[in-house]
Homo-oligomer: A and B are copies of this chain.
Amino acid sequence: MKAVILSIGDELILGQTVDSNSAWLSAQLSDRGVMPLYHKTVADDVQATVIAMKEACELADVVIATGGLGPTADDLTRQAMATLINRPLDLHPPSLDRIKAYFKSLDRDMPVTNRIQAMVPRGSEVLDNDWGTAPGIKVKVGKTVIFALPGVPHEMMKMVERYVLPLFQHGVGNALAVETLNTFGAGESTVAEKLGDIMRRDRNPLVGTTVSGGIVTIRIRSEAPTPLLAQKKLVQTVLEVEARLGKLIFGRGDLTLTDKVAQVCGAAKIKLAVAESCTGGLVAKMLTDVPGSSAWFTGGWVAYSNEMKVRDLGVPISVIENEGAVSEAVVRAMVSGALEKSGSDMAVALTGVAGPEGGSHEKPVGTVWIGLASREKGDCHVQASRFQFPGNRQMVRDRAAKTAINWLRLELAKTKPV
């Protein structure tokens, strides 16, 4: 089965919106053994859309297009599909009723502009949308099936699950099994060196690496005549990669650094607290991204001002005055304050220079002190380390937050099996 993914929208071609839909769709297909031939993005333009759909139909069995089904005048995917199959647009009364009912559930009348969303090319199949207003449209061109779906991610995802993925349930030639392992704490070329010959391009399973936001991901793709064999070969390579990378690996697939911390804290009933300065709430936000985090996350202080560091965390004002807010002594006082005050089992604290202003020769932008406190036989045991992160404000904050959470993960691994 060959697939092509199209995304349609001026906002994409003008660079005002990042196309996350194509990545999500690709992940769904590759999980089912289909690697899309390509993604293509075109503007809200009937002709450009028709050309992209025609090209795709020449190569693919399935074309999945998202976007251009909104209620406004620049949403033209309906018209493009009508042009492609040379049929007029007709009103689809059941869809109009559904759209009206959708607005009624929000206690509103349907704006007249939304009526266009009930128009579909004659002879096409209408795909009900239970999560928004625009129905999807399915047409057949030769032996290629084209799905046109809304661009709103959560509507698109639900509709793909209902209407598109069932097509991909059955075997499609050679079986494919894929796995991803996520690492933190080393650069891509260091990871590649550790992997060595496992990364040979002609190897099966094929092992590749990518880096995003400081996280180096190992992708493993195993092909074999049967799913069982593909899976078996995959597992062998996964084990080999794990042996070479050790603790750098924090988890598989979609598992985040925080998910790993959450698993251990949840299972071992370990409570965490956070005191943040330069990351401004990002560590707490990442920790509470995980559903159920209230079971182990007690809370955090975004101690941005010196007053708050003194008042809420008990950092002595003299230490701030003598050592500066970005210093080992301050981070140690912050983290022990957070541990003691919250009554948690473990705490992290961060203070640093996120930039772009505020750097000095001794403490340039990117300097971050991280402290980690834990209880040992009732006492508060504090460690602290200085880091130098590259990049702009956003990168420094992101890497600092992930480094703190990764330190929690490694520390938790010492007390409990990870």
Contact = CB atoms under 8 A, between A and B. Distances in A.
Contact-residue size bin, chain A (C-beta under 8 Å from the other chain)? 35 or more
B23 A201 contact: no
A190 interface: yes
A11 to B, nearest CB: 4
B111 A189 contact: yes
A134 to B, nearest CB: 11
A385 interface: no
A178 interface: yes
Interface string A397-412: 1000000000000000
A72 B199 contact: yes
Interface stretch (A120-128, A260-268, A369-377, A386-394): A386-394
A316 interface: no
A291 B43 contact: no
Task: Kindly name the residue among A39, A355, A393, A397 whose own CB sees the greatest number of chain B CB atoms within 10 A.
Answer: A39
A71 B190 CA distance: 10
Contact of A39 (B24, B25, B41, B308): B41
B14 A26 contact: yes
B294 A300 contact: no
Nearest to A9: B210
A342 interface: yes
Contacts of A380: none
A417 to B, nearest CB: 26
A400 to B, nearest CB: 12
B27 A35 contact: no
A286 to B, nearest CB: 8
B288 A281 contact: yes
A89 interface: no
A299 B315 CA distance: 15
Nearest to A294: B304
Interface of A: 9-20, 22-30, 35-44, 48, 52, 70-74, 76, 111-114, 133, 152, 154, 178, 180, 188-190, 192-193, 199-201, 206, 208-212, 217, 219, 221, 274, 276, 279-285, 287-289, 291-294, 297-305, 307-308, 311-312, 341-343, 355-357, 391-395, 397
Contacts of A284: 280-281, 284-285, 302, 304
B208 A10 contact: yes
A114 B23 CA distance: 28
A307 B297 CA distance: 12
B302 A16 contact: no
Nearest to A253: B16
Task: Kindly name the residue among A35, A40, A208, A307 whose own CB sees the greatest number of chain B CB atoms within 10 A.
Answer: A208
A16 B219 contact: yes
